[in-house]
Structure 1
Amino acid sequence: MAEWLREMSVGQWFQTDGEPFEIVGLDAAAEVVLVQHFDGTLEEVDFDAWMELAARPCAPPEDYSGALDIGRDDYGLNDDSLSPGRWDNPADFIDQMNL
């Protein structure tokens, strides 16, 4: 087995000149690296093509919305209704329960 392959593992993030991608599978017998790009697409890269990529390790992205096909507005990060102060006391909502 090639020495560079021993240093790779599933879950590592790499980057070339484009968007980062994650290794989601390694098959030494078939000589294939399975990667998932930031936008969620999967790609098989044979070992020879991997060497030509000259991919370098990088940190995982802070925002995973690319793979989920949603924008930040879709999951309400800027929505005031999600503020923790609204849910401080569950007893405030006892009258709204249908018992």
Structure 2
Amino acid sequence: MEHAIKAERGQWYKRLDLNEAFEVVAIDRDEECIEIQYYSGEVEEIDEASWQLLELSPIAPPDNWSGAFGTDNRVEYEVQADSLESALNLVDSNRLD
């Protein structure tokens, strides 16, 4: 491939053959491999020679890139607490483990 795209940790790319977005999460120069994580959460290790053969396009991170990693800790509350104790109980009952 004439214009191979260089792998950069933290950069998002789109695999044109699979039509899937992924992020480069690690590059091991000694082992000559690149670890990627698809938006779906699947992790794959690709050797540098295989990377050069991929049809890639750099892309901006997806709007909700954290969705696949389960890091969205937002909790919406519809119930109004009428005292400090009931507010604390409400928070405790919705706390993520």
TM-score, with length taken from structure 1: 0.62
Q: What is the alpha-carbon distance in structure 2 between the residues aligned to residue 35 and residue 22 of structure 1?
A: 6
Aligned pairs for 1:80-99 (under 5 A) are 81=78, 96-98=83-85
Structure 1 residues not aligned, in runs of 5+:
87-92
Relative to its length, the structure with more helix (as a share) is 1
Match of 2:12 in 1: 13
User: In structure 2, do the counterparts of structure 1 residues 8 and 50 end up closer, same or farther at CA, with 3 Å as the change threshold?
Assistant: closer
Task: Select the structure of larger CA radius of gyration.
Answer: 1
Q: Report what 2:54 is aligned to.
A: 53
Matched pairs, number: 77
Identity of aligned residues (%): 28
**In angstroms, what is the RMSD of aligned CA positions?**
3.0
Structure with the higher fraction of residues in strand conformation: 2
TM value normalised by structure 2:
0.63
Higher relative contact order (CA 8 A, sep 6+): 2
Amino acid at match of 1:48: A
Q: Which stretches of structure 1, 4 residues or longer, exceed 3 Å deviation after superposition? A: none
